[in-house]
Amino acid sequence: MSNLIASKLKWVVAPKPEQNTINKLIEEIENLHPVVAQLLVQRGLNSFNIVRDFFKSDLKTINSFGELKDCEKGADRLHNAIKSDQKILIYGDYDVDGSTSVSMMVLFLKSIGADVSYYIPDRYAEGYGVSSQGIDYALSGNYDLMITVDCGINAVTHLERATAGGIDVIICDHHIPGRAMPKVFAIVNPQQSDCTFQGKELCGCGVALMLLRSLSRKLNKPDEWKKYLDLAAIATCCDIVPLTGINRLIVSAGVIQINNNRSLGIRALLKTAGYEGDLNVGDVVFKIGPRINAAGRLDHAKLAVELLTATELDRALELASEIESLNLKRRKLDTEITESALAQMHEADPDLERKATIVHSRDWHKGVIGIVASRLIEQCYRPTIVLTNVEGMLTGSARSIEGIHLYDALATCKEHLEKFGGHSAAAGLTLKAESLEAFAEAFENAIAIHVPGERSEPQLNIDCEFDFSDWYNDKFTGFFTQLNRCRPYGPFNMPPIFATGQCKARFPKIVGKEHLKFEVYQEHDPERKIPVIAFRMARLFDDLASGKTFKLAYNIEEQVWKGRHSIQLVAKDLII
């Protein structure tokens, strides 16, 4: 891939707010650092009350979001099923959100003696969501109650079969409903137009957690649901939903739980992978998420559920080792298929003039094509669809870019599709091979409506421009403490990116072939030196070593080595 030209980043610097607004916030909040004050105001946190609410971490705050439609009704039905010793089936998806949702529900219900089983469809034999085979399983098993988690909202026909067969169904989902709603016992989904719950950003596991929260109250164990915040946090981080509002509360508490009271399955997973220290949101996304996903991508998601619900350490370590092997295989496939897909993309569109990328091959493994779609966007910034052949049909994953709603774009092409689903940033689709040409043309036209001119460039959104002396001074400890209170970072609350100009590098060196390490300072302030790590920027070594001046965009991070804490900048981009 190194010989292929990557997209260049377009820096977009947020306009500085009115100084009077910044000064007012500094007056309202004692000892607030001016740099943090500017950052907060730029993110819409421009008064004491708003900042206070943003920083709240008390889970009791969830009460202020209201009640999910049908949540109490669903919890009552589940409570009755438990008291009557009825058979309960948890039906979930095969990704991280689905696997953690199933695990959480099973762990909770088994802990109180419920008769509970679970079903996750095979990614390749059944596909996403509620399947005909899954309903056959539920009916043949004589289940009284079925709870779908992270799926079900669009499974109108299949769930009608379940209901007709005498099974009460509770849907716990967060995906956008279609025009027709399933006729089931209860639908717990914040995306319903008549649901007044304020936490619309919940992932599937978050919705299921709210059901367990209601059930906990009915069991007179009001805090029981909190034991499963770790799983809800993993799902929330990995499903790339906004880390604001209720999700911020879930992730804040859940990451603390992962670090301080790690469950058996998560402990085994991380130990096998060689990670035993404290984790942050990024670690959850890149260390835990891909391994849970690897089970469903290359084997079956039940492996992940078995691990996350394991009660014996030896068995947990055995399952973790199996999943680690699958993850290594997944990484190898990822590299190979990405190389092949990039070559196909450049062969079909040498000048990269199209508004969208669509590539396909019968040889590509379905389990990694979503990852490959994201890789292609890194190389050519435009909506991307990667397709492969499964049982005579083309099935694939789509990823979008900022400003283009993927689900809406696919909806305009639905006449060429057998099925599709997803949201603004990611989607899945299935079509007949003979429909590919017509679909590709329709999708290109749909994207062109949103990108009428030249294809957009990937943006690097800069929060603030400062000299190093504005924050790296004798008040740095207080500044960094306040900055870290903005965590956890994620969508809609991204890690702040700062920019500083007139920079020079000292002692640059290449590490690990692709990366650079150096000390940075400003020309007018040579004694104020800060360590920098620049991932995948080794190509800039000669420019930095020759003493060229540059502008640096960076995150401010803390690195810990052998118990020692120190500041380090993580370079996001350099302009020389």
Q: Are 151 and 39 in contact (CB under 8 A)?
A: no
In a shared domain, residues 109 and 185: yes
In a shared domain, residues 91 and 216: yes
**Given pLDDT bands bounded at 50, 70 and 90, which one contains residue 127?**
confident
Q: pLDDT for 202-237, tens place per residue?
A: 999 999 999 999 999 999 999 999 999 999 999 999
Q: pLDDT for 162-208, tens place per residue?
A: 999 999 999 999 998 988 999 999 999 999 999 999 999 999 999 99
What is the DSSP secondary structure assignment for residue 490, as one 8-state letter?
A: B
For residue 423, pLDDT beyond 80: no
For residue 428, give the nearest of 401, 465, 395, 459 by alpha carbon. 395
In a shared domain, residues 159 and 192: yes
Residue 492: left if φ>0, alpha if ψ -120 to 50, beta else—which one?
left
Q: CA-CA distance, 497 to 297, in Å (whole number)?
A: 34
Bridge partners (DSSP) listed for residue 323: none
For residue 378, pLDDT beyond 90: no
**Rounded (5°) CA angle 78-81-86:** 140
Q: CA-CA distance, 558 to 541, in Å (whole number)?
A: 24
**Percent of the chain at pLDDT above 90?**
84
330 C-beta neighbours (distance < 10 Å), count = 22
The residue behind tokens 């909806």 is 411
pLDDT at 284: 95
In a shared domain, residues 565 and 497: yes
Q: What is the dihedral of CA 237, 243, 245, 251, to 10 degrees?
A: 40
**Given pLDDT bands bounded at 50, 70 and 90, which one contains residue 453?**
low
In a shared domain, residues 161 and 112: yes
pLDDT at 257: 97
Of 318-322, 374-378, 564-568, the least confident = 564-568
Bridge partners (DSSP) listed for residue 460: 11
Q: Which of 459, 487, 518 is the last residue of a domain?
A: 459
Q: pLDDT for 240-288, tens place per residue?
A: 889 999 999 999 999 999 999 999 999 999 999 999 889 999 999 999 9
For residue 236, give the nearest of 156, 228, 317 by alpha carbon. 228
For residue 538, give the nearest of 570, 508, 507, 516 by alpha carbon. 516
Residue 129: left if φ>0, alpha if ψ -120 to 50, beta else—which one?
left
In a shared domain, residues 471 and 452: no
Tell me the CB-side half-sphere exposure of residue 268, using CA atoms within 13 A: 23
Residue 105 is assigned to a structural domain of this protein? yes
pLDDT at 4: 33
Bridge partners (DSSP) listed for residue 561: 564
**Given pLDDT bands bounded at 50, 70 and 90, which one contains residue 14?**
very high
SS (H, E, C) 199-245: CCCCCHHHHHHHHHHHHHHHCCCCCHHHHHHHHHHHHHHHCCCCCCH
In a shared domain, residues 163 and 116: yes
Q: Between 188 and 426, whose confidence is greater?
A: 188
In a shared domain, residues 436 and 482: no
Residues 1-27 have a mean pLDDT of 77
- 3-class DSSP state for residue 403? coil
Residue 213 is assigned to a structural domain of this protein? yes
Residue 309 is assigned to a structural domain of this protein? no
What Cα–Cα distance (Å) separates residue 488 from each residue in 171, 184, 231, 472?
29, 36, 16, 22
pLDDT at 76: 98
Residue 40 is assigned to a structural domain of this protein? no
Q: Which of 404, 435, 459 is the last residue of a domain?
A: 459
pLDDT at 402: 82
Residue 400 is assigned to a structural domain of this protein? yes
Domain count, the chain: 3
Q: What is the CATH number of the domain that holds 374?
A: 3.10.310.30
For residue 1, pLDDT beyond 60: no
Q: Which of 431, 459, 487 is the last residue of a domain?
A: 459
The answer to whether the Cα torsion of 160, 161, 163, 164 is positive or negative is positive
In a shared domain, residues 440 and 550: no
Q: CA-CA distance, 114 to 94, in Å (whole number)?
A: 23
Residue 232 is assigned to a structural domain of this protein? no
**Sheet of 419-422, strands arranged across:** 357-360, 384-390, 393-399, 426-432, 419-422
Residue 449 is assigned to a structural domain of this protein? yes
For residue 295, pLDDT beyond 60: yes
For residue 2, pLDDT beyond 70: no
In a shared domain, residues 538 and 476: yes
Q: What is the CATH number of the domain that holds 143?
A: 3.90.1640.30
Burial of 349 (C-beta count, 10 Å sphere; 0-12/13-18/19+): middle
pLDDT at 456: 66
Residue 3 is assigned to a structural domain of this protein? no
**Given pLDDT bands bounded at 50, 70 and 90, which one contains residue 57?**
confident
**Given pLDDT bands bounded at 50, 70 and 90, which one contains residue 454?**
low
**Given pLDDT bands bounded at 50, 70 and 90, which one contains residue 452?**
low
For 161, the domain range is 66-221
Name the average pLDDT for the chain: 93
What Cα–Cα distance (Å) separates residue 358 from each residue in 136, 247, 387, 417?
35, 33, 8, 14
Q: What is the CATH number of the domain that holds 513?
A: 2.40.50.460
**Given pLDDT bands bounded at 50, 70 and 90, which one contains residue 466?**
very high
**Given pLDDT bands bounded at 50, 70 and 90, which one contains residue 468?**
very high
In a shared domain, residues 194 and 71: yes
Residues 540-561 have a mean pLDDT of 93
In a shared domain, residues 84 and 199: yes
The model carries a pTM of 0.88
Cis upstream peptide for 488 (omega within 30°): yes
What is the DSSP secondary structure assignment for residue 195, as one 8-state letter?
A: -
Contacts by residues 134-140 (CB-CB < 8 Å, ≥ 24 positions apart): 134/91, 134/158, 135/159, 135/161, 135/162, 135/165, 137/89, 138/89, 138/91, 138/162, 138/165, 138/167, 139/165, 139/167
Instruction: Tell me the two tokens of residue 440.
Output: 């590709």
Q: CA-CA distance, 401 to 419, in Å (whole number)?
A: 22
